[in-house]
Each structure stands twice: as C-alpha cells, then as structure tokens.
Amino acid sequence: MSAALLIDILLWGSVLGVGLIAFRRGPTVFKASLREGAMDFINIVPRIALGVIGSGYIAAIIPQEVITGWLGPDSGWLGVASAVVAGAATPGGPVIGFSIGTVALKSGGGVPQVVAYVVAWALFAFQRVILWEIPFMPARFVWFRCAVSVPFPFVAAAIAMVIGKP
C-alpha cells in the first residue's frame, strides 16, 4: 500500500512540477495542454477498459502450470527460447512474473534461462503491451518496438552465460 502511495505522490508531484513550468510559460499554454491531456484521457479510457477487462479473461485461460512448464529444465538455447515464450505469455503483474522466475531458479532452472525469462517478461509481457503500450503509443511503434526487441532476451542470456552466475 505504501509503495502505491509513494508512486501516486511521485506521479502527481511530477504533474504539478511540469504544470508549474507550463503555467509560467503563460496561461494559454497551460490551458491548452490541460485540455489536450484531458482529451487524451477521454480517448484512451475505452482502450484501457478493453485492456483491463480483456487481459483478465486472457489471463484466466492461461493456467500458470503452462508457463512454468515452458520455463522447465530444458537447458541450452532451446531452454532460452522457451523461456522467452513463457515470459511473453505470462499473465498478471510483476508479482507473478518475478515469483515464477524465483521458483524456476530454486527448482533448478538454469540462470541464463531465468534471465531470458525475466528480460522477455519485461519486454513483451502481453498484458502490459495490451493494457498500456498499445492504448498509449501509436500501434506502428508498438509492433516495431516488439519486433526489434526480439533478439535481446537471447543477448541477455548469452551475456549471462559468459559472465557467469550472480
């Protein structure tokens, strides 16, 4: 709870700070950007609604065992590849993603595979992409960003293999 409060304070503090700068540029600039922000908000609410409600249903049909299965004991690059798929397909928020990673580490999953999983989750977790990235960013950017990011969980795993365990 306190973490959430801290986030809200930081967030609205930043809005206030940037708002103050805009206000000192003149009330017209300030009003225009407030109006623009409000319009963005109104435009985005339906998409966020679809994302929030939708990802709940998508998450409900992906059982967690499937994810942990993908993050199984396969070692080597095949294991890295299936860890990447698991990261992208993991439903839910950071608690679930990191918990699955921890369980995999403790139950003998390879470190490079877990790194690939965590990095892939950070880059591609479908729920974040659907819920946040697509509503806020131009769709063309999102797909482009995802496509360009594909090699990087593998790069992270390769670095992990080279420099060894933590």
Partner 1 sequence: MSEPSPNNPAPAEDAESEPRPGRVRKPIGWSTIIIAVLVAVSAALVWRRDGTEGVLDILTHDLSLFSGILPRVLAGCLLGALISEILPHEKVSRSLGPKSGLMGLLIGTAFGAILPGGPFTAYPVASALLAVGADFGATIAMVVSWTLIGYGRAVAWEIPIMGTDFTLWRILISLPLPVLAGALGRFVYVRLYPKPAAEDDET
Contacts with partner 1 in 24-83 (CB under 8 A)?
Answer: 25, 29, 32-34, 36-54, 56-58, 60-61
* Closer of 7 and 78 to partner 1 (Cβ): 7
Residue 142 within binding range of partner 1, rule CB under 8 A: yes
Closest approach, Cβ 12 to partner 1, in A, equals 6
**CB of 154 closer than 8 Å to CB of 80:** yes
Nearest to 121 by CA among 65, 162, 66, 67: 67
**How far does CA 110 lie from the centroid of its chain?**
23
At 65, the amino acid letter reads E
Contacts of 75 (CB under 8 A, 6+ apart): 110, 113
Q: Tell me the window of 64-72, 75-83, 145-153 that interacts with partner 1 (CB under 8 A).
A: 145-153
Q: Tell me the window of 65-73, 76-84, 137-145 that interacts with partner 1 (CB under 8 A).
A: 137-145
Q: Which residues within the stretch 98-117 sit at the binding site for partner 1 (CB under 8 A)? A: 98-99, 101-102, 105, 115
Output the DSSP codes for 106-121.
HTT--HHHHHHHHHHH
Residue 120 within binding range of partner 1, rule CB under 8 A: no
* Closer of 65 and 147 to partner 1 (Cβ): 147
